[in-house]
Amino acid sequence: MPDRFEILHKDLAGRIGRLSTPHGTIETPELMPVVNPHLQLIPAGELAEMGANMIITNSYIIHQDPALRNEALEKGLHDLLGFQGPIMTDSGAFQLSVYGDIEVQPLQILDFQFRINSDIAVPLDIPTPPDVSRERAESELLVTEGRLEEATDQNRPNLLAGPIQGSTYPDLRERAARHLKDLNFDVFPIGGVVPLMESYRFETLVDVVVSAKKGLGSGAPVHLFGAGHPMLFALAAAMGCDLFDSAAYALYARQGRYLTVHGTRKLEEMNYLPCSCPVCLKHSPQELMKSPDKTKLLARHNLHVSLQEIRLVRQSIRDGTLWNLLECRCRSHPRMLDGLIRLKCESRWLEGLDTSSKSTLFYLSPESAARPEVMRYSRRVDRISLQGNVLITDETNTDSTDFDHVLYFKPPFGAYPAELSETYPFNAEVPLEPDDDAQVAAVEATRHLMEANPGVHFAIRLKKSRWTELVNAECNMR
Ligand SMILES: [Zn+2]
């Protein structure tokens, strides 16, 4: 099968990609609103007007309703829903996870998805929840893998998704992904993670996603199944997730909940609406509360804010500023910060994927000290070869005539060759007063540089005596 996914731009593990389907090519990262075939809270045709380029629906629900089933088989899925862009279909695995049993055979529901012209069909896998016993995770994974292999044997015109399971066992996720990567799949959903997101366990989510990505390699398009909250998109995209689906816009609306990129608010507790979508411009919170169309209107706002965030994520990848957005979003909630801190532990993996040149680096919070650019310099600092007398300074107009080399000192990088000061990443914008993480990173890198050049005499002239003391202390220890 020709390559359906093309990567155009990269930032961290995230990317702008193009995914080709029978009903058109979409740019990723992309959010697919979930459409309930029984009740379209926002009609599918209007979803396109709101900026949705692709949607997802549940083939099992259509299959189990004789009227819908016949109509879908006659007219096809796109005319049934009134949406002419790409449509992905789920298989009933979610119903299986909730009810424990469903009334359809795996190949039967897969064939049905092909027959109604789904653009991306999903085989009926077993979504193993988090924290189950290893035995259960392994045995369910074995069943899923058998069904997936069976699915790839089928003749098909459309794209096929190969879901990655393995519960909260990173090694199982990685193994499952490695196994699927060589089979004939086009898209790789990471499944069974909704309970992690519902309970705000973002550090475990990072473990699961990064493990799956390591197994898959960087070229495969990944769908984070069930990720619909806009506050999560930057984090998920930074890990290399390309597709998201939102049932959240409708589910939260039914509960009177108002989505923002910083978290969820109860509409009844709001005095102002901090958004300029058509719904929020035309209504006060009180008017929305009283409106007979409250749920529909709230769903529209929720979807607006979600699609807007996806576009911002794309622009950030394009600009090379996804880390900045990631830091802002992850500082909205302590559990999101847990996710970012866990992602920092994977900095070596991120560094391997991240492109090396971008727009000016902004140091925004202690998390910036773990940016791939900082880690990369720290790892390579011992390649800098120096002789004779070397000045380390943070003053650009200092007298350096007696020195063989001049190094500028700037946290979080530490000492670096002065001639690189106008180039990326050393032209970074940093706070006047560096935080502890930036200082520790800077002193550490400077110590490595000194250790790599043992015969050299270093003179340290730093405006802040504190830094001089720190660097001298490290220097004397070597
Ligand atoms: Zn709004």
Give dist(CA 408, CA 421) in Å, integer: 8
Token pair in block for residue 112: 């049905």
pLDDT tens, residue by residue, 344-396: 999 889 988 887 667 789 999 999 999 999 999 999 999 999 999 999 998 88
Q: Distance, CA 394 to ligand 1 centroid (Å)?
A: 47
DSSP 99-139: HS--SS-HHHHHHHHHHTT-SEE------PPTT--HHHHHH
pLDDT tens, residue by residue, 255-272: 999 999 999 999 999 999
Give dist(CA 117, CA 103) in Å, integer: 22
Tell me which CATH homologous superfamily contains domain 5-351.
Answer: Queuine tRNA-ribosyltransferase-like (3.20.20.105)
pLDDT for res 162: 97
263 neighbors 333 (Cβ within 8 angstroms): yes
173 neighbors 164 (Cβ within 8 angstroms): yes
Q: Distance, CA 307 to ligand 1 centroid (Å)?
A: 11
CB atoms within 10 A of CB 345: 13
- List the domain boundaries for the chain: 5-351, 364-477
Q: Distance, CA 320 to ligand 1 centroid (Å)?
A: 27
Confidence of residue 290 (pLDDT cuts 50, 70, 90): very high
Share of the chain above pLDDT 70, in %: 97
Q: Give the containing element (helix H, strand E) for 147.
A: helix 134-152
Q: Distance, CA 360 to ligand 1 centroid (Å)?
A: 32
Distance of CA 248 to the CA centre of its chain: 17
pLDDT tens, residue by residue, 33-48: 999 999 899 999 999 9
pLDDT for res 466: 67
Confidence of residue 1 (pLDDT cuts 50, 70, 90): very low
Give dist(CA 27, CA 54) in Å, integer: 10
pLDDT tens, residue by residue, 396-412: 888 888 899 999 999 99
Strands 263-266 and 24-28: unpaired
Of 147, 223, 186, 213, nearest to 6 by C-alpha is: 186
Token pair in block for residue 374: 């900082």
The lowest-confidence range among 31-35, 143-147, 472-476 is 472-476
pTM: 0.93
Q: Distance, CA 26 to ligand 1 centroid (Å)?
A: 25
Q: Distance, CA 464 to ligand 1 centroid (Å)?
A: 47
- Which residues are marked as active site? 90
Q: Distance, CA 247 to ligand 1 centroid (Å)?
A: 17
pLDDT for res 397: 82
